[in-house]
């Protein structure tokens, strides 16, 4: 195949590969269907890649059957040179068929069969998926209506099929925004779905919630009810699936950047669930995301108190230092700083010494890490150095470091007082 000279008009201008399904734009330029559809879907204002002319929405792609047959004939003629002939591509699904499927799906007795056929069409080709995902097809709105209408009493299998199709469509950000604008009850419906016992439906619901949260405006996120956070956290707690766990973490992270959502998550027990998940030593990426969330949730007194109220809370945070990634270390130290500020009872301070917090923080001071992390660790040591230097759990080298830290703190205070006094005298002399 490497020695065969391919006619230039057989090549797609985008991929520079032989076209398997050539289609022409209104400009007259022919492209491979997969390449041009990807190009058009990635641009808000679609243009012809070669001529740069703007294209109307939706863009009509005209199959170039003559060129396709010519390419297939050329492939057959050069088969002895290693050129493989590709099969004739199936034409993408037309809107008339989609409209017929939607009509069938509106009838309870034929709904499941219609949904399964629709799912099969989507899995057949990327072209079908893109046609179905367009607003003009009306399929996405119908699928969402299956989920949102009478969601508490909906047929479980129908709902699961509709959710799985919505997930498979992989809607773009613009398509999701339009969907949210037309369906204001989406989050309530997803909350009700996550409340059910079916793990597969719950997984699809939280995956769709992740996509919806990523494009929702701040006022929508601020209005998320506490019940929504409760169900997302239950998905985490029940470990529905690895994919669902990652999606739930992303939902919480995105939502907790706004307003009182952090307080809502803390109130429904997010901190305890995160500690339990960290105990199982998850993968690096998940572990870092959990520490990021724990850092966000423990910045207030309630969140910090929930960390220390768990028997393994302080220990699991300490264990993450210098063990996973630099980002995880930074977040773990910040969680310890929040605990030191908001929940440092004598028992907690002693527990921090017993589980090795002091040794980890001392290692950070003498090792290589981000300056901000080192400063946070130094601040935690400064807060409790008087208690920890009397603890039997702190080794002699660490004691020496803590004493030096105390001595430097006193010297710094003296220097500050001297400088302040000198400045005061200087200012009074000038007057």
For 22-50, how does the pLDDT look when each residue is reduced to its tens digit (9 = 90+)?
Answer: 999 999 999 998 888 888 877 767 889 99
Number of folded domains that form the chain: 3
- Report the alpha-carbon angle 361-364-370, nearest 5: 125
- Residue 322 belongs to a domain: yes
**Residue 253: inside a domain, yes or no?**
no
Gap between the Cα atoms of 106 and 142, Å rounded: 9
Q: How far is CA 61 from CA 41, 52, 64, in A?
A: 13, 16, 9
Mean pLDDT, residues 324-331 = 88
Per the domain annotation, does 2 fall within a domain? Answer: no
Same domain for 404 and 323, yes or no, is: yes
- Lowest mean pLDDT segment, chosen from 1-5, 182-186, 293-297: 1-5
Mean of the pLDDT values across residues 313-342? 91
Distance between CA atoms of residues 370 and 359, nearest Å: 18
201 and 106 in a common domain: yes
pLDDT of residue 59: 79
Q: For residues 273 and 297, is the Cβ–Cβ distance under 8 A?
A: no
Whether residue 232 is found in the same domain as residue 99 = yes
Question: In the prediction, which pLDDT does 369 show?
Answer: 76
- The string of DSSP letters for 187-199 reads HHHHHHHHTSS-H
Q: Are residues 158 and 274 in the same domain?
A: no
Are 25 and 61 in contact, with CB atoms under 8 Å apart? yes
Q: Are residues 175 and 307 in the same domain?
A: no
Phi, psi dihedral angles at 314 (to 5 degrees): -65, -40
DSSP string, 229-245: HHHHHHHHHHT--HHHH
| CA–CA dist 137, 139 (Å, integer) | 5
Kindly state whether residues 416 and 363 are assigned to the same domain: yes
The CA–CA distances, whole Å, from 74 to 10, 11, 31 equal 10, 13, 18
360 and 282 both lie in a single domain: yes
User: pLDDT at residue 180 above 90?
Assistant: no
Is residue 196 predicted with pLDDT exceeding 60? yes
Decide if 187 contacts 222 (C-beta within 8 A): no
Going by pLDDT thresholds of 50, 70 and 90, the confidence category of residue 154 is low
What range defines the domain where residue 389 resides?
A: 269-431
Alpha helices (H) in 355-395, listed in sequence order:
357-366, 371-388
Asked if residue 256 belongs to a domain, the reply is no
Average pLDDT over every residue of 208-226: 92
Return the H-helix or E-strand segment holding 262.
helix 261-267
Same domain for 103 and 166, yes or no, is yes
Which of 29, 52, 81 is a domain's end point?
Answer: 81
Residue 227 lies in a domain: yes
Is 252 contained in some domain? Answer: no
* 286 DSSP 8-state letter: H
Helices (H) and strands (E) in the chain, counts: 23, 3
Cα–Cα dist 294/303, whole Å? 8
- Residue 392: half-sphere exposure toward Cβ, Cα within 13 Å: 0
- In the listed set 195, 221, 239, which residue is the last one of a domain according to the structure? 239
* Rounded-to-integer distance, Cα 377 and Cα 385, Å: 12
Q: Where are the beta strands (DSSP E) in 240-357?
A: none
Query: What pLDDT shows up at residue 137?
Result: 66
Claim to verify: residue 177 and residue 223 sit in the same structural domain: yes
Beta-carbon count within 10 A of 51 CB: 11
Cβ atoms within 10 Å of 217's Cβ, excluding its own: 11
The top-scoring range by mean pLDDT among 36-45, 55-64, 290-299 is 290-299
Looking up residue 352, the CATH number of its domain turns out to be: 1.25.10.10
d(CA 228, CA 195): 9
Q: Do 290 and 352 reside in the same domain of the chain?
A: yes
pLDDT tier at 65, thresholds 50, 70, 90: very high
Q: Which of 81, 111, 139 finishes a domain?
A: 81
Q: Is 415 part of a structural domain of the chain?
A: yes
Q: How confident is the model at residue 415 (pLDDT cuts 50, 70, 90)?
A: very low
The percent of residues in the chain predicted with pLDDT above 70, rounded, is 88
Same structural domain, 425 and 298? yes
Q: Which of 5-19, 208-222, 358-372 has the lowest mean pLDDT?
A: 358-372
Buried b (16+ CB within 10 A) or exposed e, 189-216: bbbbbbebeeeebbbbbbbbbbbbbebb
Cβ neighbors of 207 (< 8 A, separation 6 or more) are: 167, 243, 244, 247
Is-above-0.85 flag for pTM?
A: no
Closest Cα partner for 334 from 355, 320, 354, 348?
A: 320
Residue at token pair 């949260």: 213
Q: Mean pLDDT lowest for which of 49-58, 69-78, 200-209, 282-291?
A: 49-58
CA angle 109, 188, 208 (to 5 degrees): 75
In this structure, is the dihedral angle defined by the CA atoms of residues 338, 342, 346 and 348, taken in order, positive or negative?
negative
Number of Cβ within a 10 Å radius of residue 287: 22
185 burial via Cβ count (<10 Å: 0-12, 13-18, 19+): middle
At 160, the pLDDT band (50, 70, 90 cuts) reads: confident
Among the residue ranges 55-59, 117-121, 195-199, the one predicted with the least confidence is 55-59
Same domain, 283 and 426: yes
| Average pLDDT along the chain | 84
Residue 158's nearest CA partner among 196, 117, 113, 202 is 113
Q: 153: pLDDT confidence band, cut at 50, 70 and 90?
A: low
pLDDT band at 109 (very low <50, low <70, confident <90, very high): confident
Q: What is the CATH number of the domain that holds 31?
A: 3.30.40.10
**Residue 86 belongs to some domain of the structure:** no
């Amino acid at each position: 195949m490497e020695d065969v000279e391919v006619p230039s008009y057989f090549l797609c201008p985008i991929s520079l590969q032989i076209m398997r399904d050539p289609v022409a734009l209104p400009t007259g330029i022919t492209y491979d269907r997969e390449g041009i559809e990807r190009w058009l879907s990635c641009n808000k204002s679609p243009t012809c890649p070669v001529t740069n002319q703007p294209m109307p929405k939706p863009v009509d792609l005209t199959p170039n059957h003559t060129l396709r047959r010519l390419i297939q004939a050329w492939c057959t003629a050069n088969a002895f040179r290693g050129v493989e002939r590709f099969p004739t591509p199936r034409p993408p699904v037309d809107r008339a068929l989609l409209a017929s499927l939607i009509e069938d799906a509106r009838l309870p007795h034929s709904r499941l069969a219609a949904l399964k056929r629709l799912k099969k069409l989507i899995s057949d080709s990327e072209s079908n998926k893109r046609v179905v995902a367009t607003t003009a097809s009306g399929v996405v709105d119908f699928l969402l209506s299956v989920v949102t209408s009478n969601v508490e009493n909906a047929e479980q299998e129908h709902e699961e099929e509709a959710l799985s199709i919505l997930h498979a469509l992989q809607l773009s950000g613009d398509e999701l925004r339009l969907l949210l604008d037309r369906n204001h009850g989406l989050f309530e419906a997803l909350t009700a779905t996550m409340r059910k016992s079916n793990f597969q439906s719950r997984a699809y619901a939280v995956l769709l919630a992740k996509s919806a949260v990523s494009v929702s405006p701040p006022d929508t996120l601020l209005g998320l009810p506490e019940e929504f956070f409760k169900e997302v956290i239950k998905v985490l707690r029940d470990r529905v699936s690895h994919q669902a766990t990652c999606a739930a973490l992303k939902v919480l992270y995105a939502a907790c950047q706004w307003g009182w959502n952090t307080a809502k998550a803390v109130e429904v027990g997010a901190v305890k669930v995160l500690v339990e998940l960290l105990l199982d030593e998850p993968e690096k990426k998940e572990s870092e995301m959990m520490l990021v969330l724990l850092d966000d949730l423990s910045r207030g007194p309630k969140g910090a108190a929930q960390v220390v109220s768990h028997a393994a809370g302080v220990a699991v945070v300490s264990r993450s230092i210098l063990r996973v990634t630099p980002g995880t270390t930074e977040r773990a130290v910040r969680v310890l700083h929040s605990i030191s500020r908001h929940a440092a009872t004598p028992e907690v301070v002693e527990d921090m010494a017993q589980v090795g917090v002091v040794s980890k923080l001392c290692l950070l001071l003498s090792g290589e890490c981000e300056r901000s992390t080192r400063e946070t660790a130094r601040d935690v040591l400064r807060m409790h150095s008087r208690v920890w230097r009397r603890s039997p759990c702190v080794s002699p080298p660490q004691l020496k470091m803590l004493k030096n830290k105390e001595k430097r703190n006193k010297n710094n205070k003296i220097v500050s007082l001297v400088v302040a006094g000198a400045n005061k005298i200087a200012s009074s002399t000038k007057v």
